[in-house]
Structure 1
Amino acid sequence: MFAKVLILGMLLSTKVFAISSLELAQNIIANPNLEAKLKLLFEGRDYTDENGYANLSEISRILKTNSLLSLTLASSQSLELSFKSKASNILFLKIVNDALNQAGFVYFTPIQLDLSTDISTYKLRVESRYILDPGSFYMILKQNFVFIENVRKTGAYSYEYSLDFSRAKLSTNTNVMLNQSTKLGRPLKDYIIDLKGANTISLKASPADTWFPKIIFVDKDLKLIENLESQEKNNNFSSSIPSNAVYAIVGDSYNLDNIRRGLEIYLSK
């Protein structure tokens, strides 16, 4: 009985503190003159995704459809984006930077980075004619099980994102199964491999390539466990996997063109 009451209390507490679709829309627009229209569109309506978070893709679509959110500027402006989360520092920066790149923001300047407290803060400036679409960003982050709790417009061209990293998991660029050989195509970036609890890893380059193996084992928070780099050609590589390693980052010590024909990988358990 006590357990049921406790669970109910937790659910009610979550409901009390969760931001509503209307509040989120108000925070994104930050214009008191549009309050009536926002209430008409969002008040009493629930736009929640399958994970219990606000479906920013749908909220953003409604705002754009009703001409409340314009993401294209007349001229290039200096935009400021701030991200806050309780997260592992390396994973936080990796996922946010990769998500921004995927959203089309490749060149930006970090202007604040505070990783010294429980809440990590990362602020950057970017020159652009386009504002980051919260709906698209939401969809990209979901690939890594990172969720947007809130978005606040803090200035004419400034936005602050509060992110939930409690279930974060790095999205890999490979699909490798245990106990079967997998051919990896030509890499544009280092391969990121989910080790799936394997005990050993074997990698083979094409005889026509010249590979200088670089294999980095990291844990779930991307903290370094072991770094193996070779300065000599070795087209066949095998190693045991450290017990707490979750991912392997595989590349070449000098240039990915050295493995332009890809690699063959085998994870065994």
Structure 2
Amino acid sequence: MIKKLSLIFISAIILNASTLDEKIQNIIGYQEFNENRSLIEYLFQNDSAYYANGSINYIAVIEKLKDNGLLKVVLNKPQDISITFKISDDAIKSMKIISDSLTALGYYHYFTKDLIYDDNKTITWTINLKTEAAIDPLMLSKELAKNNCRFVDIKQEGYTKWMYKIDTSNSTLSNAYNITNNERVDFRKPLTPYFIKVDNANIIEIHSKYGNHWFPQIVFYDKHLNILNIVKENERKDSLQLEIPEETNYIKIEDIYTLANIKRGLSVIIKE
């Protein structure tokens, strides 16, 4: 019995090491992995430190690779980069999180090459961009982590093609301001539409600050970011009170024409 347990333990260690080596090779590429095999074996000799809850801890792995000069994202010249994201949960919400993460990293100018939604409700989203450096997977993983998303697989092909499989099953929207019932929040000049999170609320009151010229547009979403209702007003408003649809988790507040119309900010109150 003890011999069997020992064999199982040894097999688990070998399997973990083999899996970790494979994942590292996928991240840095076959050639880079083979050229630095001895260093990689030394750096990751305590392979259990790079697992969390039975899965690869990609942030820890990528951080170690980057700290030791094994993760190369800078290119010799501007090139076309192809990045594919595979997502299996909350399609609309997940794409917003990825898009917001790219924006936070300074990537605004990219275009969608393919967008496939298959029978298994898995999204495969491929974008292209021209750049002198590929997106840093460590920075991207940390941005996604802010929204409770994590990598479950990464593959790199020749520095110009990357694939990220992302678990978004527990995702949240880190840029949504959480407002509790009966709380009044004063928002300053917006750079992007106001995006707030609510829970079990029935009424929203919005007050425009003096000097604004607000033409309201309010969008109500459920927890998956499916649209429940849109309210638009073609007349200037100083204040607005609306019923919040059932199952609303997120509300976007903006101006029909331009955010410059609410440059003085807005005040928002949520009521039960």
Which TM-score bucket, shorter chain as reference?
A: 0.7 to 0.9
In structure 2, C-alpha distance between the alignment counterparts of 1:201 and 1:135, rounded to whole Å = 39
In structure 2, C-alpha distance between the alignment counterparts of 1:91 and 1:226, rounded to whole Å = 17
Partner of 2:212: 209
Partner of 2:64: 62
Structure 2 residue 244 is the aligned partner of structure 1 residue 245: no
Aligned to 2:152, what secondary structure does the other structure show? strand
Structure 2 residue 32 is the aligned partner of structure 1 residue 33: no
Question: % of aligned pairs identical?
Answer: 27
Residue identity in the other structure for 2:203: T
The structure that has the greater radius of gyration is 2
Structure 2 alignment gaps of length 5 or more: 1-14
Partner of 2:11: none
Q: Shift of the alpha carbon at 1:156?
A: 3.4
Aligned to 2:50, what secondary structure does the other structure show? coil
Q: How many residues align?
A: 254
Q: Identify the range of structure 1 (24-33 vs 201-210) with the bigger mean alpha-carbon deviation.
A: 24-33
Residue identity in the other structure for 1:152: K
Structure 2 residue 201 is the aligned partner of structure 1 residue 191: no
Residue identity in the other structure for 2:207: K
Aligned to 2:141, what secondary structure does the other structure show? helix
Q: Which of the numbers 92, 96, 99 marks the counterpart of 2:98?
A: 96
Contact 2:222/2:250 (<8 A) preserved: yes
Residue identity in the other structure for 1:61: E
TM-score (norm 2): 0.86
Structure 2 residue 120 is the aligned partner of structure 1 residue 121: no
In structure 2, C-alpha distance between the alignment counterparts of 1:121 and 1:95, rounded to whole Å = 15
Q: Shift of the alpha carbon at 1:256?
A: 0.6
Structure 1 alignment gaps of length 5 or more: 1-15
Contact 1:149/1:163 (<8 A) preserved: yes
When residues 250 and 20 of structure 1 are mapped into structure 2, their CA distance, relative to the original with a 3 A threshold, is: farther
In structure 2, C-alpha distance between the alignment counterparts of 1:187 and 1:213, rounded to whole Å = 14
In structure 2, C-alpha distance between the alignment counterparts of 1:53 and 1:189, rounded to whole Å = 36
Structure 2 residue 134 is the aligned partner of structure 1 residue 134: no
TM-score (norm 1): 0.87
Superimposed CA distance per residue, residues 7-32 of structure 1 (whole angstroms, 9 cap, x where no aligned partner): xxxxxxxxx89x95443322101223
Question: Where in structure 2 are the equivalents of 1:158-177 lying within 5 Å?
Answer: 158-177=161-180
Q: Shift of the alpha carbon at 1:34?
A: 3.0
Residue identity in the other structure for 1:66: N
Aligned to 1:26, what secondary structure does the other structure show? helix
When residues 92 and 173 of structure 1 are mapped into structure 2, their CA distance, relative to the original with a 3 A threshold, is: closer
Q: Identify the range of structure 1 (181-190 vs 151-160) with the bigger mean alpha-carbon deviation.
A: 151-160
Contact 2:196/2:250 (<8 A) preserved: yes
Q: Shift of the alpha carbon at 1:248?
A: 0.3
Structure 2 residue 114 is the aligned partner of structure 1 residue 112: yes
Structure 2 residue 86 is the aligned partner of structure 1 residue 84: yes
Residue identity in the other structure for 1:33: E
Q: Identify the range of structure 1 (173-182 vs 71-80) with the bigger mean alpha-carbon deviation.
A: 173-182
Partner of 2:3: none
In structure 2, C-alpha distance between the alignment counterparts of 1:258 and 1:129, rounded to whole Å = 37
When residues 219 and 43 of structure 1 are mapped into structure 2, their CA distance, relative to the original with a 3 A threshold, is: same
Structure 2 residue 200 is the aligned partner of structure 1 residue 218: no
